[in-house]
Amino acid sequence: MAMTSAQIITEICDVVGKSTTASAVSATELQVRVLNYLNMAQQRIARAYSFNELKTIKTDSVTVDTVKTYPLETGTNNLGLTGIKDIESIRLIDSENSRKLKRWSYRKYDKKFPYPENYSTDRPHMYVRYGDNIELFKIPNDAYTLYIRYSKWATALTNTATSPDFLEKDQLLIAAGVLETYLAFEEYVDAKIWYERYSGLLYDAISGDSTMTDWDPLPEGFGEGSGAVSGAPWLDPYGESGDPLAGYP
C-alpha cells in the first residue's frame, strides 16, 4: 500500500474529525494546514532515523585545483548534493590512489592545521564539515572525483497526488501527521495518545529497516575477569564465585 499525499491529508482530517475544507480564523482551509503538519511529521521522522530510502550517493562531485572549501548544495564549486541531512562517507576516486577520506571534527582540525595553506597541495586524505560546507585537507592539487554517500531530508509534499519518499510507512506518516495536527490544535490529551502510537510505529519501522542486513560482525572471545560467563551460567551467571548459590536469595 502506498498512499499519496492527498490521501494521507484526507485521512488525517478524518481522524481529527474535521472537514478538509474547514476554515481557520485566517480562512485557510484545513487541508492546507494539514499539509504543513504532514511535512513537519516527515521532519520529525527523519530526525529520529535515516531510513534506507533517505540515503543516496553522488558520484560526480569534483574538486578544484587549489580550492579548499566546497559548499554542499549551492554556491561556487558546490558538490551538487540536495536536501542533505548528514554525510555518511566520502571517497576520493583516482586511478593512482583512491581512498576513503577521514572525517575530523573542526576543533581537532583547527588545532592541528590552523592555516592549511601553509602546506603543499596534494591528494586530500581528510575532510571537515562545518555548516553547509566541507573543507578538504590537504588542499587538492587537481580535479578529483568524489563519491559521497549521504542521508537527506524527505522531499516536502504538496496537496497534489504526490508520493512520499518514505516507503511502506503510511501508518507512521498518518500517526505523525495526526500528532502534529493535535499539537497545533492544543489538543494535548489526544496528542499524548497519538504520540504513543507514533512512537510504537516508529520503533516497528526502525526494527524492520534492512540497513544492517549484509553486516558481518566479528565475534569476540570471553574474558576471564569480572563479567566472564561461567560454564554453568544458571548456577553462577557472573563467573565470579565457586559457590553455586552465590547471589541467590
Determine how many CB atoms are found less than 10 A away from the CB of residue 63.
Answer: 22
Question: What residues are paired with 58 via a beta bridge?
Answer: 148
pLDDT of 18:
83
pLDDT of 69 reads 97
**pLDDT score, position 23:** 75
**Ranges of residues in the chain whose predicted pLDDT is under 70:** 1, 25, 210-217, 220-249
Which pLDDT belongs to residue 67? 97
What is the number of residues in the chain? Answer: 249
Structure confidence by residue, pLDDT tens digits, 42-95 = 999 999 999 999 999 999 999 999 999 999 999 999 999 999 999 999 999 998
Domain ranges of the chain: 5-51+175-207, 54-152
pLDDT at 159: 79
* Predicted local distance difference test score (pLDDT) of residue 50: 92
Q: What is the mean pLDDT of the chain?
A: 87
Residue-level pLDDT at 128: 97
pLDDT of residue 130: 94
pTM score, whole prediction:
0.78
Which cell goes with 22? Answer: 474547514
